[in-house]
Amino acid sequence: MKQMSRRIGALLAAAVCMGSLVGCNTVEGGGWILSATGVGKATFGFWLRCEEPTVTGEMQYNDHEAGVKAHCIPTSSGLTIGGGSLCGGNSGNGLYFGNYTPQPPKDKDGNLRPGGRFRVDIHDGGEPGADSGDTFAIRFFGGVYDGYSNNRRLLGGNVQRVD
């Protein structure tokens, strides 16, 4: 009985939480951060649209010094840091997950290079962009870029919520 009571409590908490997840948005941006190598640039551009529970959009990422270049398609989002809302609510912040394809998708012999999953965490620190503390963090799981991560403050560009 105690275990059943815990399960019901967990289900009720989840229902309350799901009911409060409102205010999905579009977040877009582009710019550059320091390469994961600590030298040179990593550039990115993206637009991500969330209409719970669906996420659409795409992202390009290129760490020039590390040799990491990927095309990313989001498949889901998660709770944001400090925002407490799926897709970032109305804040311009968001945590997105999806699949990546290495660019180019084939090696020099014409063989497909394996892709994998990605996670990107975006924070809009205000306007204008890099001067206000915008951040961009990405991590790859599986495929040719397995274990790669880069988490930096923008040095150029902007991340913002679009109404």
**Closest-CA residue to 158 (of 24, 42, 46, 37):** 46
Helices (H) and strands (E) in the chain, counts: 1, 9
Dmax (CA) of the chain: 62
pLDDT digits (tens, 9 = 90+) for 59-94: 999 999 999 999 999 987 654 434 444 454 555 677
- Say which residues have a Cβ less than 8 Å from residue 144's Cβ, sequence separation at least 6: 102, 113, 114, 115, 116
pTM of the model: 0.77
d(CA 136, CA 116): 19
Q: How many CB atoms neighbour CB 61 within 10 A?
A: 24
pLDDT digits (tens, 9 = 90+) for 1-57: 444 443 333 332 332 223 222 345 688 899 999 999 999 999 999 998 877 667 889
